[in-house]
Amino acid sequence: MNILFYLAVILLVGIITAKILAKINLPNVTGYLIAGLIIGPSILGIIPKETISKFSIISEVALAFIAYSIGSEFNLVHLKKMSKGIVLITILQALTAMLCVTLSMIFIFGQPVSFSLVLGAIGAATAPAATLMVVRQYNARGPLVDTLLPVVAMDDAICIMAFGISTAIARTLISSTESISIVSLFISPLIEIVGALILGLLMGILLVLLSRKTKGEDELLSIVIAIVFATAAISIRFNFSSLLACMMVGATLTNVIPNNKKVFTTVERFTPPIYILFFTIAGVELDLSVLKGVGMIGIAYVLFRVIGKVLGSYLGARIAKSSKVIRKYLGYTLIPQAGVAIGLSMVAQNILPSPYGGQIRTIVLAATVIYELVGPLITKKALIKAGEIKVGQ
């Protein structure tokens, strides 16, 4: 059957399943993942296993625009307005989650350093959509929410930067057959990261210049797509982090022309079906048979990531002298994990050799379903205990 037919099936089944599960208050991402799992090789087999490799272009496009949209939120003027305490909390909760997952994998489960570093970096990500959904649905208000919202806004940007550094180090560890020198361990990743940021900056400036000469939203949309595609392609060609580069394009744009919202809103006409395809395909690729082999590691990832989020938030809030409510409950509101984590797991699969890349993808996809099912409920409970959701809502 033609590849377009399978893409049509993936889109339609993803939308229908998400709508059905929305009736029991499950996030759309969970619906897309479950839809993909049902029609994939693990259950019904409507999408053949040999077809999956042909969907890689969808993943690359979706990841590029996810990174671009995250970068567009990285406005330096807004960041300066935030208190230093919130920035500190954001960094500590992300890095502590990463550290807890990484160390547990190395010292408890004896996993390779490259595998542990990459999985740990993915553990830093939080899904803002699921958290915001709870806040808006129950009209939550108070100091905890006021801290939570900017933290989830910045979290994914920090995660992508941490992931870029971790994957650069992982590549060096994997590619070096001989003894690794300290110089090669740091120089190679540094070139990769700096190269991605410089490329993103240059492409962002080019996009600024071109956007000022465009006439109409259709032309603007085409230019934005072309620049994002080109940035991702050049990054892949030179082994730079395409995520960091595309994030830098968005960050450059929002800081040079912060009031030109059309550059960002026009992309929203293009990305919805791409995201649905991306998340549903992630479900299609979920191999249930692998779960047996990564069972304990998967459970450990879920638990140690939560421990890291709670501990890091507490430490950050304590150092920042935040209120007791924030110290006690903020970490529990950061449990949901979805889009960015799934995207990073796809990148990890291409970086790490078999079976580690596939294991990371399976662990993260399975954990995402758990986090998206349980995370919003825990977030709601934490906000109720903090007194920011009225009981009975």
Helices of type H across the chain: 3-22, 28-39, 56-71, 76-81, 84-107, 113-123, 128-137, 143-175, 182-211, 217-237, 242-256, 262-265, 271-284, 295-319, 324-329, 339-351, 356-385
What is the distance between the alpha carbons of residues 381 and 26, in angstroms, rounded to a whole number?
A: 16
Q: Do residues 334 and 321 touch, judged by C-beta distance below 8 A?
A: no
Residue at 277 is within a domain = yes
pLDDT in tens, 278-319: 888 878 877 777 666 667 888 899 999 999 999 999 999 999
Can you give the residue range of the structural domain that contains 325? 3-385
**Domain CATH code at residue 13:** 1.20.1530.20
- Cα–Cα distances (Å) from 340 to 65, 66, 84, 127, 366, in that order, read 11, 7, 25, 7, 14
Residue at 391 is within a domain = no
Residue at 393 is within a domain = no
Domains contained in the chain, number: 1
Residue at 332 is within a domain = yes
- Cα–Cα distances (Å) from 93 to 41, 130, 341, in that order, read 37, 18, 16
Residue at 392 is within a domain = no
Residue at 167 is within a domain = yes
Per-residue pLDDT of the chain (393 residues; tens, 9 = 90+): 788 899 999 999 999 998 998 787 676 777 888 898 888 888 888 888 888 878 888 888 888 888 888 787 777 777 676 677 888 998 999 999 999 999 999 999 888 888 999 999 999 988 766 676 677 767 788 888 888 877 876 787 788 888 888 888 888 777 765 555 555 566 767 777 788 889 999 999 999 888 888 877 888 889 999 999 999 999 988 878 788 888 889 888 888 876 667 777 788 888 889 888 888 887 887 777 766 666 788 889 999 999 999 999 999 999 988 888 889 999 898 888 877 788 888 888 878 877 788 888 888 888 887 887 787 778 888 888 888 887 655
Residue at 247 is within a domain = yes
Q: Which pTM was predicted? A: 0.74
What is the distance between the alpha carbons of residues 388 and 393, in angstroms, rounded to a whole number?
A: 11
Residue at 390 is within a domain = no
* DSSP at 181: P
